[in-house]
Structure 1
Amino acid sequence: METAQSATVLMDFEAWMTVIAIICLLCVSAFFSGSETALTAASRGKLHSLADRGSTGANRALKLTENSERLIGAVLLGNNLVNILAASLATSLFLRLFGENGIAMATLVMTALVLVFAEVLPKTYAILQSEKAATLVSLPITIVVAVLSPIVAMVQFIVRGILSLIGVSASDQAEAGAAQAEIAGTIALGHVEGNVDRDDRDRLLGALDLKDREVEEIMLHRSDMEMIDANSAPQDIINQCLTSAYTRLPLWKDDPENIVGVVHAKDLLRAVNKVMRGESNALAALDDFNALDVAMKPYFVPETTTLDDQLREFLRRKTHFALVVDEYGALQGLITLEDIIEEIIGEISDEHDVDDQTAPQMDDAGNYVIDGAMTIRDLNRALEWSLPDDEANTIAGLVIHEAQMIPEVGQVFAFHRFRFEIAAREQNKITSLRIKRL
């Protein structure tokens, strides 16, 4: 009788110890689940900001997330280990209490406990307080990763071996623009959700796009360039500089392709003023004036230079003006520092600008009358459209690319969910179009 009572007491003691062990294991499982979510959901930018303010926890969290594969491997290993152990103990306990029916009951009870207390609850908290949770768990997780690193390394070796058998390389590096793409996506999402203004979005995305865009996309084409013939009479050169809307003008000699200098209006006027004040017969002396004496040396850049590189080069050289050439050295156009800045902050206008493009206006028929030289990027910005700019820079170029011909006035095309009607054309140049969304 005493033996039976002792056995019952021992069994009760073992059952309670098993219950306590299961609860402890569920707590550890919740810790691993919350830690995984916190460290993966935490913003590295915010963690970096906290680390700069002296937070050692944020600094440890940053170091942990540098090798996400090792981190996730260690956390998942620990999480699965405690979950399997907790399920095994629960099955053993329920078998003793309910016999063969204990397996089903243990499965249902442990599924509910793990789902609520070891998965949903800690992960929800980690999402709501990701940076705070990441700093709190960084120290214990650092220890766990250090202890389990040999096992994790072996698991990674096995996984990579299996992936290689099916033609997947696990050693491929993430694309170089992943961080930039993530930032751009966040800005676009913020605009959709109403947290980022349209102008702010355009400025931020414009700055991010400088590395992906080339000089030829925004340069002023040579057909629209205003240049000075160095062989012209000095008074004609002076008059052209004074009446021009531009401060800097390319100077060519014998052939428009032969750019020999760039005249700055201020330098020209200083030189003319010096001549006029220094000679008794100023007008006669002005006839001997040579614009090449005050012209700056021309600065040429390849058309494939990225806008980011060109911006840095402008700042380094302390100049604002460059001539664009193709791979054969032929003149293609010109680019200024203002052109690049306008890609970030939008159009910059002053009292001398006469060709600035105004926002397109819709007519009664629902058409937008667009200048053919308007860039696709500017049109997309102005009207919130998404016309592709991979194959052409201007609206006219897009129509010619899609039509595979130079259209006649009145011809109509439909592509990319838009209707394009040729409104005006000069020789082979499309100067105006009517565009309507279909």
Structure 2
Amino acid sequence: MMASLDTAFWITTLSILGLLVLSAFFSGSETALTASSRGKLRAQADKGSLGAATALKITEDNERLIGSVLLGNNLVNILAASLATALFTRIFGDSGVALATLVMTLLVLVFAEVLPKTYAITNPEVAASRVAPPIRLIVLVLSPVVAAVRALVRVILRLFGVTTDPNDAILSYHEEIAGALALGHSEGVVEKEDRDRLLGALDLGHRTVEEIMLHRSQIETINIDDPVDEIIAQCVNSSHTRLPAWRDDPENIVGVIHSRDLMREVHRLVVEADGKFAAVTRLDLMSVAREPYFVPETTPLDEQMRQFLTQRRHFGLVIDEYGALLGLITLEDILEEIVGEIEDEHDEDAPDPIHRLSDGTIEIDGAMTIRDLNRAMDWNLPDEEANTVAGLVIHEAQLIPEAGQIFRFHGFRFEVADRADNRLTRLRIRAM
């Protein structure tokens, strides 16, 4: 009987220790797989790490992964506690229940929770690569049970009016990266300029050409029926190398004249005429005009940049669904959304668009975009309903304000400093 008791004691003890090891494995695996960076795992997988590739695959369905790990962890913890209770009760009698609870709580807390999770959180990618293969097998084995539990949970939540979509990510990559950049900037690790560039690149897919285009009222164009010498003078003196050409109606764009193409043809005609500039009167402008490239207003910026690069274009005319001209967009406009204003030796020095007053108020042109204002002032004014600051004021006020009117929304005080016709030309803004 004594030999039997001794054998049962050691078998039970070893079983409890083995279950604690399994509990530590499950706890550490959960922390490693949820805390690891998918970007770093992808980099390791591209270098040939099978463990990292496996970790990437099983973390695609986090709900199933966490469900399987929690199920396994709870099974081994409950079984270990049951065996410890039986063992301590046999040795110490009724007081063994309390003693088993105390001992198992300490063992599970230290060796099955804190220790493995601390290691996993300090080396998440390494730990995730190591535990991924066995965890993948466990997920496959326990998936039927986990699926049933998931279905039961959704039914219970639905009874309380909560609906869940298993295909929806809890946090999108865009929000995750943006949050990390904002945190890094607030802690002084990421410079404002670097944050703005990275966020600008991330936002390209969420913004359309309509938001950054140059409005048609500001486009410099050519009337192709004007005298040739006047057109040549306009192209030479313009700060732009490409000018849209129209006929009969400013919105009837028939081509785009590139100053280099124009000058090349002018040179050819003058040389053939033995240096007589009067020969340019024979110039056929349509022969040097390039075919206009039209862009729908709803095209995402990242797609439009790909189109510019693929088609080797730098210039597009933005149109609405009815084909009416809205404005123009260039490759440089899109790049400026990432790197900020790009200026060359031909750009005129422009004054600071933000005039700062002594009381902390700023005065700006109403046509200034909300995005540019947010970048310059490090603010977070919403730009979902309007592109310009004037548009935001009109949207919030639900009318076209008069000069002198004051509004307060989004934590700021807006004063209409000047108005021309239906346009808010100058605005004063102060944070409240």
Paired residues for 1:25-424 under 5 Å: 25-156=19-150, 158-159=152-153, 172-174=166-168, 178-280=172-274, 282-354=276-348, 356=350, 358=352, 360-424=354-418
- Residues 354 and 423 (structure 1 numbering): CA distance in 2 closer, same or farther, change over 3 Å? farther
Moved more, 311-320 or 411-420: 411-420
Equivalent position SS for 1:285:
helix
1-structure distance, mates of 2:169, 2:19: 39
Q: Would you say the 8 A contact 2:305–2:331 is kept in 1?
A: yes
Over residues 24-54 of structure 1, what are the superposed CA-to-partner deviations in whole Å (9 max), with x where a residue is unaligned?
2111111111112112211122122222223
- Residues 430 and 152 (structure 1 numbering): CA distance in 2 closer, same or farther, change over 3 Å? closer
Amino acid at match of 1:117: F
Equivalenced residues, count: 432
- Residues 59 and 401 (structure 1 numbering): CA distance in 2 closer, same or farther, change over 3 Å? closer
Identity of aligned residues (%): 60
2-structure distance, mates of 1:417, 1:410: 19
2-structure distance, mates of 1:313, 1:176: 32
Runs (5+) with no aligned partner, structure 1? 1-6
2-structure distance, mates of 1:357, 1:376: 18
Moved more, 60-69 or 159-168: 159-168
1-structure distance, mates of 2:175, 2:74: 33
Q: Would you say the 8 A contact 2:212–2:329 is kept in 1?
A: yes
Give 1:373 shift. Answer: 1.6
Give 1:165 shift. Answer: 6.3
Equivalent position SS for 2:356:
coil
Give 1:171 shift. Answer: 5.6
Over residues 290-331 of structure 1, what are the superposed CA-to-partner deviations in whole Å (9 max), with x where a residue is unaligned?
322211111111111111111111112111111111112111
Q: Would you say the 8 A contact 1:349–1:356 is kept in 2?
A: no
TM-score normalised according to structure 2 size? 0.92
1-structure distance, mates of 2:275, 2:184: 68
Moved more, 413-422 or 213-222: 413-422
Over residues 256-293 of structure 1, what are the superposed CA-to-partner deviations in whole Å (9 max), with x where a residue is unaligned?
11111111111111111222221258344333433222
Give 1:212 shift. Answer: 0.6
Give 1:145 shift. Answer: 3.2
Q: Would you say the 8 A contact 1:359–1:382 is kept in 2?
A: no
Moved more, 170-179 or 237-246: 170-179
Runs (5+) with no aligned partner, structure 2? none
Over residues 310-365 of structure 1, what are the superposed CA-to-partner deviations in whole Å (9 max), with x where a residue is unaligned?
11111121111111111121111111110001001110011222375636242212
Amino acid at match of 1:319: R
Match of 1:431 in 2: 425
- Residues 81 and 122 (structure 1 numbering): CA distance in 2 closer, same or farther, change over 3 Å? same
2-structure distance, mates of 1:413, 1:170: 39
Amino acid at match of 2:264: R
TM-score normalised according to structure 1 size? 0.91
2-structure distance, mates of 1:10, 1:309: 75
Q: Would you say the 8 A contact 2:353–2:364 is kept in 1?
A: no
Equivalent position SS for 2:59:
helix
Q: Would you say the 8 A contact 2:353–2:365 is kept in 1?
A: no
1-structure distance, mates of 2:151, 2:420: 66
- Residues 172 and 29 (structure 1 numbering): CA distance in 2 closer, same or farther, change over 3 Å? closer
- Residues 97 and 53 (structure 1 numbering): CA distance in 2 closer, same or farther, change over 3 Å? same
